[in-house]
Structure 1
Amino acid sequence: MAAAAAAAAAAAVLEPWRAAARRKRRSAARRPGQREAAARGAEGDPEADSAAVLRRIREAGEDLLLSDFWSSALETINRCLRKHQEQLKALVGTLSEALGNLHLDSLPHEPDVACDYIPGETGETLVTGACPLKCVCYGIGNFATCVIARNQLTFLLLFLEKCQVRRSHCCVYDPLFSQVEIAVLNALGVTVLGENEEGKRSICDEPTIFYMLHCGTALYNNLLWSNWSVDALSKMVIIGNSFRGLEERLLTRILQKNYSYIAKISQGLEELEFPQTSQYVDIFNDISVHWFPVQKLKQLPVDTWAFQEEPDYQDCEDLEIIRNKTEDPSATD
């Protein structure tokens, strides 16, 4: 009964978003403040049930779709994905036809997850696409009780829809997820990982988008290490903290010592900054879309790829990630 109710609530979360996007923009100015106030009042209860959390996600989606930020941020991502798509077509000829379906459109019907169905603009069921893109989301935070985290999750759900990435092909993990949040994510149809990977995930030759907003620097460094080759990096896109910003904030010696993979890749990527708006300034600040052009990767010194030692961060102060204690009992948060 509870699972069925959660699934029904999850389906209701996403259906009103398109209708909200077609409303007159004048109504949008009144809702965000009211919604934020209501959310803050409800968030005092850490045991908020799934239905309440799903309702807040729906409301956040309605507001996001009405914002100028959504359209401009989506265009920023699309500019990067179009270049990345062309690169994948050139690298792997067999993917050309499949990647031709990658565009900002509606999510195809996914029959194996009941709550995944989202009707198209005309109400017709869309044909299931063959887009091979995967998505991995790290560090989204406690979206049941945090407005910032909830808006970041909402953006992810809308992004998956628009770029035709099945939600079942999106893996999500945060070591701080509550049981309510895990239940909500399961109801929404995404795949909740059961282990803290510390960002050490190999894409295994599958084109993958990593959605990692405001994550610790070590998480990005671990991800690069796990895919430290021209072939793997060229198939990746990272939506997360600006690598350019990381370089500007960290001392060069600290960056090279503790986060050597970020330091080495700086000349092998292209970065597009997210737009900045006052409405979402604390939610999507310092975020960029990163991709790795093959031409740039091949121009890096040959010895760049020779060093592949796993990062350990033993002497690293202020490590901003939660370690996997099952592998490292001595690690501290």
Structure 2
Amino acid sequence: MAAPATAAAPEPWRVSARRSRRTAAAAAVRSPEKEEATREADVAVVLRRLREAGEDLLLSDFWSSALEAIGSGLSKLLEQPSAPTVPLCEALGNLRLEPVVGEPPAALEAHPGARPGRGPLKCVCYGLGNFATCVIARHQLAFLLLLLEKRQVPRSHCCVYDPLFSPCETAALQALGVTVLSENEEGKRSISGEPTLFYMPHCGTALYNNLLWKNWSPDALSHMLIIGNSFGALQDRMLTRILQKNYPYIAKILQGLEELRIPETPQYSDTFNDTSVHWFPEPKLRQLPADTWAYREEPDYRDCEDLEIIRNERAS
């Protein structure tokens, strides 16, 4: 009698194992509706946190001091005869101080400061990072959105890219109405003669070098403004021969730019430290030696150590 009992014992275990596998497989399958609801909930959380970051910025001393520095650079950029001008007083008169994060994109499509036949200031943002999980990146994005509102730049005229963006972050940016680029440009974007603000906080040095190369002429450079790592501080930190070898366009432009440091505050010491406003007055650019503009070789970083950018593998 003992033998039959021994033979029958494993059968319940085999049945239980099959049920366990079927149950696990069924639990792993989510309905498309549930996945969509989860994504929407995640995006809503990100937008709420951005709104809170914007509220913090508006109440800070940093906001007003940073705007003063940026406004000074933009005014000089837009006052050039060849660039569409928007008087600073006009832009300030239309400012609404409530946070713009989460506001429907259509609300910003009107551009009171634009003149007939001329578009508004363009904006390109590189290197924000994972703002859904990083508080520094979140405040940097919130500042950008507030700056767009301040300068009355429609969000659809702002292009944003970081190769690290998650699907949730991309969805949040699209919900905000900015244009999310699909290609890693490595900073190599031509402004095509349009006044353009580049917002590049804490980006790798190669991104700035690539941007300068792509727009290497007095006419193009005089139409751009860069908010990012201080070129002056970079010159102080890096050996001259390394700067000239690895980042030649930054090295060559140092005598042709004007830089204004954005004041640091303890509240945002890790968020906007080492950040400056850079612009390139055309008269100053024209005074540089003629051979400055003859050198136009595309940057090559194969021998560059500690390259702080993510390369476009398809382009390399």
TM over 0.5: yes
1:57 and 2:50 are equivalent in the alignment: yes
Name 1:201's counterpart in structure 2: 189
State the AA in 1 paired with 2:181. Answer: L
Amino acid at match of 2:72: R
1:217, 1:127 → 2: CA distance?
Answer: 34
Q: How does 1:228-247 map to 2 (within 5 A)?
A: 228-247=216-235
What is the CA-CA distance between 1:129 and the residue it aligns to? 4.0
Q: What amino acid sits opposite 1:116 in the alignment?
A: P
Q: In structure 1, what is the Cα distance between the partners aligned to 2:273 and 2:106?
A: 31
Q: Which deviates further from its counterpart, 77-86 or 127-136?
A: 127-136
**Aligned equivalent of 1:273, options 249, 261, 265:** 261
- Amino acid in structure 1 at the alignment position of 2:280: F
Checking the alignment, whether the CA contact within 8 Å between 1:137 and 1:212 is kept in structure 2 is yes
TM superposition shift of 1:91: 2.3
Q: Could you report, residue by residue, the CA deviation over 1:213-265 in whole angstroms, capped at 9, with x for unpaired residues?
A: 00000000000000000000000000000000110111101000000000000
Q: Which amino acid aligns with 1:289?
A: V
Does residue 76 of structure 2 align to residue 83 of structure 1? yes
- Of 54, 73, 93, 2:66 maps to 73
Contact 1:48 1:144 in 2 (8 A): no
CA contact (8 A) 1:185 1:192 kept: yes
Contact 2:160 2:181 in 1 (8 A): yes
Q: Does 1:258 align with 2:246?
A: yes
1:116 to 93, 105, 110: 105
CA distance in 1, matches of 2:153, 2:120: 8
Q: Matches of 2:147 and 2:304 in 1, distance apart?
A: 34
Look up the match of 1:317: 305
Give 3-state SS (helix, strand or coil) of 1:209's partner: strand
Q: Deviations over 1:172-193 (max 9, x none)?
A: 0000000000000000000000
SS in 1 for 2:91: coil
**1:30 corresponds to:** none
Q: Residue 132 of structure 1 contacts residue 206 of structure 1 at CA under 8 Å; is this kept in 2?
A: no
- Aligned-partner residue type, residue 252 of structure 1: T
Specify whether residues 173 and 167 from structure 1 end up closer, same or farther in structure 2 by C-alpha distance, changes over 3 A only.
same
- Tell me if structure 1 keeps the 8 A contact 2:111–2:154: no
Query: How many Å apart are 1:127 and its aligned residue?
Result: 6.0
Counterpart position of 2:237: 249
1:167 is aligned to: 155
Tell me, yes or no, if the aligned pair for 1:270 and 1:290 is still in contact at 8 Å: yes
Mapping 1:280-299, distance limit 5 Å: 280-299=268-287
Amino acid of the residue matched to residue 82 of structure 1?
Answer: S
Deviation at 1:48? 7.3
Separation in structure 1 between the aligned mates of residue 107 and residue 53 of structure 2, nearest angstrom: 17
Distance (whole Å) between structure 1 residues aligned to residue 111 and residue 55 of structure 2: 25
Letter of the 1:274 partner, please give it: I
CA separation of 1:174 and 1:257: change in aligned 2, threshold 3 A: same
1:91 partner SS = coil
The one-letter code matched in structure 2 to 1:220 is: Y
Kindly state the Cα deviation for residue 103 of structure 1 after the two structures are TM-superposed.
2.3
Q: Secondary structure at the match of 1:285?
A: coil
Choose 1 or 2 for highest CA Rg.
2
Taking the TM superposition and a 5 Å limit, the aligned residue runs for 1:96-111 are 96=85, 99-100=86-87, 103-104=91-92, 105-106=94-95
Partners of 1:57 and 1:179 in 2: CA distance: 17
- In structure 1, runs of 5+ residues without a counterpart are 7-45, 108-112, 120-124, 329-333
Aligned equivalents of 1:168, 1:47: Cα separation in 2: 21
What are structure 2's unaligned runs of at least 5 residues? Answer: 1-32, 97-101
Distance in 1, matches of 2:313 and 2:158, equals 24
Aligned length: 271
Can you list the C-alpha shifts for 1:3-52, whole angstroms capped at 9, x where unaligned?
xx99xxxxxxxxxxxxxxxxxxxxxxxxxxxxxxxxxxxxxxx9970000
Structure 1 residue 118: Cα displacement: 4.9
Say if 1:257 and 1:127 are closer, same or farther in 2 by CA, change over 3 A: closer
Q: Secondary structure of the residue that 1:177 maps to in structure 2?
A: coil
Whole-Å Cα distance in 1 between the matches of residues 110 and 179 of structure 2?
A: 22
TM-fit CA distance, 1:270: 0.3
- Tell me the equivalent position of 2:25: none
Deviations 1:116-135 (CA, angstroms, capped at 9, x unpaired): 2559xxxxx97644252100
Which residue of structure 2 aligns with residue 223 of structure 1?
Answer: 211
Question: Sequence identity, in percent?
Answer: 69
